[in-house]
Structure 1
Amino acid sequence: MEMNMFKPWLLLVACLSLVATASGQQQEQNVKQLGKMEVHYIGIPTTFLTPEVAQSYKIERSRYRGLLNIVALDTTKEDTPALSVGISGTATNLVGQTFTLKFNKVTEGEAIYYLATIDYPNDETYRFDILINNNGDEQQLKFTQKFYVEE
């Protein structure tokens, strides 16, 4: 089999496997039902990615940079296919500084996901406010994520 057949799952598998082994980190995959969408989201330090995975997705690895990965699935269909949605959002730290997130859409085969990075100092908590537009059905995803700098 060609390596390209495995690429659609490369980033997702890397994120999930690293999250499962991250000791002392508040990292977990989350799922929320928003309207007719099932939204999966995760925030991890970019250092959790191997250099090869980071390079293939043009993500700069840094002890001070986090990666958000968001996937929207259509729950009205039996096989819950990935949705192509409009997505925008902000991250606000605890002192009220707000940062606009720039999401990049990644489409590989049937997989569609949205990636954004955020810079952070050590022990920083962000409140994320993400607007997801699925053909006019706008839903808001809100969650809090704490990032740590690896020593």
Structure 2
Amino acid sequence: MLMRNALTALLLTVLAMPALAEQMMKFGHYEVHYQALPTTFLTPQIASTYQIERSRFRGLVNIAVLDSAQGKLAVPASLSGQARNLLGNVIDLTFREVREGNAIYYIATLPYSNEEMFRFNVDITPQGGQPFTLKFEHKFYVD
């Protein structure tokens, strides 16, 4: 029960922050909701529960894949990706799957410096679907 409450709190914390609005892109009948934010936005309890290093210099990428053909049902997927800063330095992203009831999302962390801009390329293959690549940019700030 504690794990379920912590997971729910993580989802609410990450998805309910108006200043860091979640973004969405469509790929056929799939909707990919994604967000990048500093790990300091997580409470210490949530960070500990999910073994996420909470730091002013660490970011969190959160991605969920929904199938709009099935009423926006969350679907399992395989994710791999990279973040490239403006100097061309590449960070490989290792995504972990998190499940809460019918919700499925994927999280990865990465280090950053103040005002560091990243271009993200995330290869996503939904279970039973065709692969596609999510591309987005995000600038991190040290708080």
TM-score between both structures, scaled by the size of structure 1:
0.87
Aligned-pair identity (%): 44
* Corresponding residue for residue 48 of structure 2: 55
Coordinate RMSD, CA, aligned: 1.5
The structure-2 alpha-carbon separation of the partners of 1:146 and 1:130, relative to structure 1 and needing over 3 Å to count, comes to same
* Structure 2 equivalent of residue 97 of structure 1: 89
Unaligned 5+ runs, structure 1: none
- The answer as to whether partners of 2:62 and 2:105 remain within 8 angstroms in 1 is yes
What does residue 58 of structure 2 align with?
Answer: 65
Closer, same or farther in 2 for the Cα pair 1:110/1:121, shift >3 Å?
same
Letter in 1 for 2:44: P
| 1:21-64 per-position Cα deviation (integer Å, ceiling 9, x unaligned) | x4xxxx32101111221010011100000101111111110000
Kindly indicate whether the alpha-carbon contact (under 8 Å) linking 1:44 and 1:147 is maintained by their aligned counterparts in 2.
Answer: yes
Structure 2 distance, partners of 1:103, 1:4, is 19
Change (3 A) 1:90 1:137: same
1:115 aligns to 2:107 (yes or no): yes
Match of 1:16 in 2: 15
Are residues 1:35 and 2:12 paired?
A: no
In 1, Cα distance between equivalents of 2:55 and 2:77 = 28
In 2, Cα distance between equivalents of 1:119 and 1:93: 11
Structure 2, unaligned runs of 5 or more = none
* One-letter identity of the residue aligned with 2:8: W
d(CA) in 2 for partners of 1:145 and 1:93? Answer: 10
Match in the other structure for 1:81: 73
Scaled by the length of structure 2, what TM-score is found? 0.92
- Look up the SS of the partner of 2:119 in the other structure: strand
